[in-house]
Amino acid sequence: MALGTNHVTNTTEATFIPELWSDEVIATYKQALVIAQRVKKIPFQGKKGDTLHVPKPIRGTANQKLAETQVTLNADVAGELVIPVDQHFEYSRFFEDITLVQALDSMRAFYTDDAGYALAKQVDSALSALAEAWQGGTAWSGAVIGGDGVTAWDPAANTNTGNGSDLTDAGIRSGIQVLDDADVPFSDRSMIVPPSQKNILLGIDRFNSRDFSNTMGVNTGQFGEVYGMPVFTTTNLPVILADDTTTEYRPVFIMHREAIVHVEQMSIRTQTQYKQEWLSDLLTSDTIYGKSVYRPENGIALIVPK
């Protein structure tokens, strides 16, 4: 005798199946992001396609109007930036029933934090790696050393000239001037440093006075302001090797939001599925996004000791 079709399935019992940990993963992900919060973000959720075309018009010029002459037309030189949306990363764990029954609640807290942090770190790493193309360079050839903000970084340097060096007041001001000379807006600028250079900044007296520093920042990673720019610290900056392949450096970013663009097609999604054949829960969090340098003149990297 047939049993019929009234089976109890995940569809019929959907209200009994919670999507665990989703909110916690999203919260941790957002909290862990540093660089991704300081770049241009283009929402792409719910849209089809694997490529985004972004218009990049070039500013026109003002022309003198002479008597009895026609106006001067600005040529249409609008270009576009093509951004592939091809980055799909996931974080998965498999939890057996006996473990879920017997483990402390702190286990859930750890893996929730771990999922959000792992995905945030991946996104931030991918975005920060794009900085090697700032100032029209490749492989950090457009970068300068932190000590003066002027001398081009040289991975083959065997003297102080061209070696990565700690930030100085003069180096920061020179980096700021590079953006000023390119007419980069001052609003939405920020500086992102590794912990070694946070330590240096905290040792420069003028950056610890109320005239130069605002220690009341509430943003993740922010610990003050320098010359009106919020300063963020993160361990998740690229490690750059000198030609000897043993000496390690990191970049400091002085950047405007439009230096890099982050296209998020699917924000953090967390799904759980019960696998009866394994008596286990499968947890997966994932995201889909694209990335690109947007305006290479809007950022400069200062190379410093790791």
Q: What is the CATH number of the domain that holds 301?
A: 3.90.1690
Residue 13 included in any domain:
no
Residue 56: per-residue pLDDT: 79
* 287-303: average pLDDT: 96
Report residue 5 as tokens: 């079709």
Residue 63 included in any domain:
no
Residue 262 included in any domain:
yes
Report residue 55 as tokens: 């218009």
Q: Per-residue pLDDT for 16 more than 60? A: no
Report residue 291 as tokens: 């990335």
Residue identified by tokens 């009895």 is 68
Collapsing DSSP states into helix, strand and coil, what is residue 109? helix
For the chain, how many structural domains are there in total? Answer: 1
Residue 67 included in any domain:
no
Q: Are strands 248-256 and 299-305 parallel, antiparallel or unpaired?
A: antiparallel
Beta-bridge partner residues of 63? none
Q: Per-residue pLDDT for 160 more than 60? A: no
- List pLDDT tens digits, range 117-146: 999 999 999 999 999 999 999 999 999 999
Residue 110 included in any domain:
yes
Give the Cα separation of 166 and 164 in Å (integer): 7
Return the closest-CA partner of residue 268 out of 289, 247, 248.
Answer: 289
pTM, entire model: 0.83
216 is in which domain, residue-wise? 18-55+85-306
